[in-house]
A = this chain, B = another copy of it.
Amino acid sequence: MAHRLPRCRWLTDNPVVTPDEVRTTATGPTAGLAPGYAQANLVAVPRDWAYDVLLFAQRNPKPCPVLDVTDVGSPRTALAPNADLRTDLPRYRVWRNGTLVAEPTDALAHWRDDLVAFLIGCSFTFESALSAAGVPLRHVAQGRNVAMYVTDRECRPAGRLHGPLVVSMRPIPPHLVETAVRVSALMPAVHGAPIHTGDPAALGIADLTEPTYGDPTDVEPGDVPVFWACGVTPQAALTASRPPFAITHAPGHMFVTDIPDTTYQLGGRAR
């Protein structure tokens, strides 16, 4: 089940770049890149499945806060008018009948005129605010993708879509847990407050060193694992629900938008 990406020292060494530079040049996970700009998960499905996906997102707003929905067949989004969703993510996943069949670096050969793309909030978006508040980001300091886990909690089903909740985990010093909750809670459109703090077993996670997606994060002594709902949840729903076709981002390899993080404070939205 586990899919492990190579560890990426370059994350911490990279100079700060603009959203457009990330979209056109990044080849690995996007945590820590273009700080101050919102990042987004991608899931694109045939028009026939679009209502199921949008309803699944509405019924599961913690893992699936929708930031934008494209018009049928269009690779354009209001979140970055110059971007092309077929080429501007570092890595994609192509799904057929719920099975991962390819992980290309662009989706041009797979895109279809009947696709509707959903851009879903990503917790990388509040990482700048966490960092500014003094909360260390272990995975960024370690040059790794964030650790993500399938849980034993089922999402609320919608039409033909069902599947388990996926979470991201950040180890946080106990005296900063309150700060991490408060800062992330201010941004509900990018997952908001954590859904769980402490015992991984309460979410059915047996071993933190074996994430389902991304890299394991080295935990410092005393750190508490804090779990946020994750925008990879739709990918777990694809596996469980087996729609005929879908394109998503590869976990951690996000679409970087032109929208400032702070737009999403307190339920604010970009157009």
Contact = CB atoms under 8 A, between A and B. Distances in A.
Interface of A: 50-51, 54-55, 58-59, 61-62, 66, 68-69, 78, 156, 185-186, 188-189, 192-193, 266-269, 271
A19 B182 CA distance: 31
Contacts of A51: 50-51, 54
A269 B50 contact: no
- Chain A contact residues, majority secondary structure: mixed
Copies of this subunit: 2
A153 to B, nearest CB: 12
A49 to B, nearest CB: 11
Nearest to A187: B267
Contacts of A59: 68-69
A192 to B, nearest CB: 5
A267 B66 contact: no
Contact of A192 (B54, B185, B267): B267
Contact of A269 (B54, B62, B186, B268): B62
A51 B267 CA distance: 22
Nearest to A71: B159
Contacts of A68: 59
Given A54-B55, A55-B69, A192-B266, 6 more contacts: A50-B51, A54-B58, A58-B66, A58-B69, A59-B69, A193-B266
